[in-house]
Structure 1
């Protein structure tokens, strides 16, 4: 799976560079380019999934103004062309997720297949507590010291 991952990752990077999108600063990018980049992220992630999951993750729906599904696609260009033929129609992801979640999934998958890094695999709130700040120590007796027997006592 390492070769498949690397091939898919290279395709993703090429797509991102072609659009000039900075994944860390999506707010300043053209919305059409962001949509294409988000689609490239979905394509990359789908290549790491089981077939049924990938089909759901990639499915696009063309909806009319009332919100009814007119047609389903997996290719964004085909979906946009179909929507253009139907007044007021729009293309939406069938499996909707915020862009930030997609980016987090990307980071997690890259870390998983890329062999690590220093980030924990759990959320930052599940990380260990930070080390004590420098300065004077408290005057209380530590539980380990109180329960340890000392010779001569």
Structure 2
């Protein structure tokens, strides 16, 4: 008996509002699990529940979302990771003062500037961040989306149906009942 396994060779693409974020074609399971464990630990340490964001402290929520960004960036190709993790420190008028990739450095710099605040260069709604996280976990964590995408001619053939086809009409040719009526 012989079994072949396909490997992804092209990057996975997340199209987020017209910006394409490129993710590594394949990630070794232990690397993914280490990164995921670090994310969960950071989340636990900050006491933020990603399933209940309304209850979180805003400062801790920012740090948790930063850890989500860093986790996702570890799965990305370098150019996408750089865009995704860059923090801009802006003044009260929104003018760029300085850019960072380290949150603590950005926070220290912003603390020295009157009215300065930290913003992600690639800003996303929290719901999109959570959707990206779920997609990446499914993609690399062995979920249904982990199988390489191929053309339909490269797809597995359908399983044979048991038994012999009968003379009955196809259900789609007759009227069908709708549940609940």
Match of 1:144 in 2: 173
**Structure with the bigger percentage of strand:** 2
Q: Give the superposition deviation at 1:99.
A: 1.1
Corresponding residue for 1:4?
31
How far apart are the structure 1 equivalents of 2:67 and 2:119? 15
Matched position secondary structure for 2:49: coil
Alpha-carbon separation, structure 1, partners of 2:140 and 2:82? 22
Find the aligned partners of 2:141 and 2:103 in 1 and give their Cα distance.
Answer: 29
Q: How do 1:35-74 residues align onto structure 2 when only pairs under 5 Å count?
A: 35-74=62-101
Larger radius of gyration: 1
CA distance, structure 2, for counterparts of residue 114 and residue 145 of structure 1:
43
Q: CA 1:143/1:64 → structure 2, altered by over 3 Å: closer, same or farther?
A: closer
1:98 maps onto 2:98 in alignment: no
Normalising by structure 1, report the TM-score.
Answer: 0.76
What's the C-alpha RMSD, in Å, of the aligned pairs?
Answer: 2.0
- Return structure 1 stretches of 4+ with deviation > 4 angstroms: none
- The separation in 1 between residues aligned to 2:49 and 2:138, in whole angstroms, is 19
Give the secondary structure class of the aligned counterpart of 1:87: coil
Structure 2 unaligned spans of 5+: 1-26, 146-170, 176-181
TM-score, structure 2 as length reference:
0.65
SS in structure 2 at match of 1:78: helix
Using a 3 Å threshold, how does the CA distance of structure 1 residues 79 and 143 change in structure 2: closer, same or farther? closer
- In structure 1, C-alpha distance between the alignment counterparts of 2:59 and 2:94, rounded to whole Å: 21
Residue 143 of structure 1: CA displacement?
5.4
Aligned to 2:50: 23
Q: Which has the higher helix share?
A: 1
How many Å separate the matches in 2 of 1:63 and 1:46?
23
